[in-house]
Amino acid sequence: MYGNERFSLTAYIKNLTRYKFLIEQLVSRDFKTKYKRSILGIFWSFLNPLMMMGVQYAVFTRLIARAGGIPHYAMYLLTGIVLFNGFNDCCNQSMRSVCGNASLITKVYVPKFIYPASKVASASVNMLLAMIPLLLVALINRLWPCLPWIVIPVGLALLIIFIMGLGLLLSALMVFFRDIEFLWGVFSTIWMYATPIIYSIDLLPESLQKLEVFNPMYHYITFIRTLIIDRVFPDITQYLWCMGFAFGMFALGAFVFHKTEDKFIFYI
């Protein structure tokens, strides 16, 4: 029966399990087509962040040293790059997922959140793959595994929930306003420079340092850096910030998506 169902989170999650096979297929499709005609294939998922780190390390290391230095700067950079690139990649792909699948949406009934969800899933797998070279570089830098590392998956899971929410929001908005794609391109660049990836938060003026608490990516990156580089468990406040942003954004994204999804078909 197709009536007006009421919004419920449990229904979303139930749907997610029912369409597991479809999501699996869509994710494996993304992987197969992404690297289909490249020689190094999946290794690009490892190489890309390492190369980025190499370039930025070469360019910024002296500058940072002059400003007081950051311990384990290569690791510091790489953590930021892996997480922020993963975030950016997920958002870009999920944002375009609804408009990009217009031909399917108008022909077959599939719950529409499947499209952004599968894109977030495939881009997240990519981000998780990029964690492998990250951990290898940690070992090279003699940052040996320690007990706090068991919380790494928690930090990543919260980041992915945050991204899922943002992906739902962006993909829904893009159906109605194609400008979002271009606005987001500019916005995410600003966001990247506003996040302490290359520099440390101490280098910012005090007024800006206070503003960083409103930057979700600052919290997620700091969370993982605390675990890998400082090798201690994060404060309880760090958990709370990460959880707050994750569930808040997810609720907002799911709400907007649910409210608008029935109208997609008239706009794509």
Partner 1 sequence: MEMVKVENVSIRFRLQADRISTIKETMVALFKGRLKYKDFWALTDVSFTVNKGEVMGIIGHNGAGKSTVLKIISGIMKPTKGRVVLGGNVVPMLELGSGFDYELTGRENVFLNGAILGYSKEFLHEKFDEILEFSELGEFIDQPIRNYSSGMLVRLAFSIAAVVTPEILICDEVLAVGDERFQAKSRKRMLELMGGGTTVLFVSHNIDQIRDMSDRVVWLDHGKVKMLGDPDTVCAAYRKWLDSPEG
Q: Residues in the site for partner 1, rule: CB under 8 A?
A: 1-3, 21-22, 24-26, 29, 32-33, 36, 103-110, 176-179, 262, 265-267
Q: Which is nearer to partner 1, 6 or 36 (CB)?
A: 36
Question: Nearest approach, Cβ of 27 to partner 1 (angstroms)?
Answer: 11
| Residue carrying the six token digits 């297929």 | 25
Question: Nearest approach, Cβ of 137 to partner 1 (angstroms)?
Answer: 33
Q: Which is nearer to partner 1, 102 or 204 (CB)?
A: 102
Question: Nearest approach, Cβ of 25 to partner 1 (angstroms)?
Answer: 4
Helix (H) or strand (E) holding 153: helix 152-176
CA distance 101 to 98: 5
CA distance 57 to 203: 17
Question: Nearest approach, Cβ of 2 to partner 1 (angstroms)?
Answer: 5
Question: Nearest approach, Cβ of 102 to partner 1 (angstroms)?
Answer: 10
DSSP-assigned states of every residue in 14-43: HHHHHTHHHHHHHHHHHHHHHSTT-SSGGG
Question: Nearest approach, Cβ of 33 to partner 1 (angstroms)?
Answer: 4
Q: In this structure, is the dihedral angle defined by the CA atoms of residues 69, 221, 139 and 53, taken in order, positive or negative?
A: negative
Q: How far is CA 201 from the centre of its chain?
A: 21
Q: Which is nearer to partner 1, 108 or 190 (CB)?
A: 108
Q: Which is nearer to partner 1, 26 or 161 (CB)?
A: 26
Structure tokens at 115: 């499209």
CB 198 within 8 A of CB 60: yes
From its phi and psi, is residue 245 left (phi > 0), alpha (psi between -120 and 50) or beta?
Answer: alpha
Q: Which is nearer to partner 1, 105 or 246 (CB)?
A: 105
CB 105 within 8 A of CB 268: yes
CA distance 36 to 38: 6
Burial label for 255, CB within 10 Å (0-12, 13-18, 19+), is middle
| Residue among 16, 4, 49 at smallest CA distance from 262 | 4
Q: Which is nearer to partner 1, 18 or 210 (CB)?
A: 18
Q: Which is nearer to partner 1, 65 or 104 (CB)?
A: 104
CA distance 221 to 256: 27
Q: Which is nearer to partner 1, 103 or 207 (CB)?
A: 103
